[in-house]
């Protein structure tokens, strides 16, 4: 555990009934005021990882720290303070808010839960709505009277009720169309600049993650297979899975790499490297073990036997 980080996961793992290993030995670290993107296909372990970092699930192994303290050991007031300082913006804007409550009532409920005085709640709700780009009149609307983008802005306002240090965005823009996605991402960037919030930003869309993140962790079958700054990852991925994801991103200018088959079942993973059954550059060594994350250069980490799988995957000259 390092005091350099606001929040840190060390070697966390989680196995569910029937031997389903959802997460295996994951290390993640988030600095104050930065955005760490976590990307991968559905079923790769992103949400399970986040639930362990929120203390909604207990890891089978490993620990999660917040400001150097093991969150599993937090009790009473300390646990409540952790809940205040780490908030979530969920995936589906249609279920982000209670459909039976107005926006005002939803936000006021959270303000009350975090000890905000009753007489000041009306003014605070108006301030929060203004901060996320909603007119104060939206306070009296019900969720069904709002668009998906408006609902997600209201959900962000709710997360801000407790003045958090960390906001976890779990596929927070995946249900929105592209133009609205861009607006919400720009809002999150502005809020980070104004308030100094750190984000854990979870998505299956590498282009979205690259747009907002300072650093990116790529997950596959419950493991982090690559981790680097967003710029380094974009310029030169060091794992074939990341290279394949990037090849499908507009503006890359590379031949599309189509992965064969589906993500293997966590209850029956392949021997050796879990990606080898879909990997276009697999070799015999991949059948023996799943490589550990290793530093390649400038802090760029990759779990692959190839030093530069991107070069192996590049189309032949001519």
For 188-242, how does the pLDDT look when each residue is reduced to its tens digit (9 = 90+)?
A: 999 999 999 999 999 988 889 988 999 999 999 999 999 999 999 988 899 999 9
Question: What's the pLDDT at 90?
Answer: 86
Q: Which two tokens stand for residue 24?
A: 């295996």
Q: Which two tokens stand for residue 145?
A: 């009277």
Q: Of all residues in the chain, what percent carry a pLDDT higher than 90?
A: 74
Nearest-angstrom CA–CA distance, 154 and 101: 13
Q: How far is CA 273 from CA 89, 167, 223, 259, in A?
A: 33, 33, 10, 15
| Positions in the chain whose pLDDT score sits under 70 | 1-3, 250-254, 314-318
Question: What's the pLDDT at 252?
Answer: 57
Hey, is 78 helix, strand or coil? helix
Question: Sign of the C-alpha dihedral, residues 170, 150, 174, 303?
Answer: negative
Nearest-angstrom CA–CA distance, 28 and 65: 10
Residue 103: name the closest of 122, 75, 82, 76 by CA: 122
φ/ψ of 162, rounded to 5, equals: -100, 10
Question: What's the pLDDT at 248?
Answer: 78
Q: Which two tokens stand for residue 15?
A: 């196995």
For strands 166-170 and 86-89, give the pairing.
Answer: parallel
Strand partners, 37: 201, 216
Question: What's the pLDDT at 131?
Answer: 97
The answer to whether the beta carbons of residues 20 and 13 sit under 8 Å apart is no
**CB proximity list for 33: less than 8 A, separation 6 or greater:** 192, 196, 197, 198
Question: Sign of the C-alpha dihedral, residues 74, 80, 83, 84?
Answer: negative
Q: What is the pTM of this model?
A: 0.92
φ/ψ of 125, rounded to 5, equals: -60, -45
């Amino acid at each position: 555990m390092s005091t350099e980080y606001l929040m840190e996961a060390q070697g966390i793992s989680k196995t569910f009934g029937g031997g389903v290993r959802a997460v295996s030995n994951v290390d993640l670290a988030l600095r104050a005021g930065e955005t760490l993107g976590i990307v991968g296909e559905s079923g790769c372990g992103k949400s399970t990882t986040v639930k362990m970092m929120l203390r909604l699930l207990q890891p089978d192994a490993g620990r999660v720290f917040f400001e150097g303290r093991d969150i599993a050991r937090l009790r009473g007031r300390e646990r409540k303070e952790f809940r205040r300082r780490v908030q979530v913006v969920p995936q589906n804007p249609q279920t982000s808010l209670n459909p039976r409550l107005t926006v005002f009532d939803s936000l006021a409920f959270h303000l009350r839960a975090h000890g905000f005085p009753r007489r000041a709640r009306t003014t605070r709700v108006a301030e929060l709505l203004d901060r996320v780009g909603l007119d104060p009149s939206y306070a009296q609307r019900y969720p069904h009277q709002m668009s998906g983008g408006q609902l997600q802005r209201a959900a962000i306002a709710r997360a801000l009720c407790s003045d958090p240090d960390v906001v976890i965005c779990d596929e927070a823009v995946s249900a929105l169309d592209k133009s609205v996605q861009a607006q919400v991402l720009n809002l999150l960037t502005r809020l980070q600049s104004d308030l100094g919030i750190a984000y854990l930003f979870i998505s299956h869309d590498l282009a979205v993650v690259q747009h907002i993140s300072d650093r990116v962790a790529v997950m596959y079958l419950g493991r982090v297979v690559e981790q680097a700054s967003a710029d380094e990852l974009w310029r030169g991925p060091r794992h074939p899975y990341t290279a394949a994801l990037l090849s499908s991103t507009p503006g890359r200018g590379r031949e599309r790499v189509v992965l064969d088959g589906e993500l293997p079942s966590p209850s029956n993973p392949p021997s050796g490297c879990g990606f080898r059954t879909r990997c276009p550059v697999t070799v015999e060594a991949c059948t023996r073990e799943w490589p550990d994350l290793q530093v390649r250069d400038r802090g760029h980490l990759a779990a692959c036997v190839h030093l530069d799988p991107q070069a192996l995957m590049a189309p032949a000259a001519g």
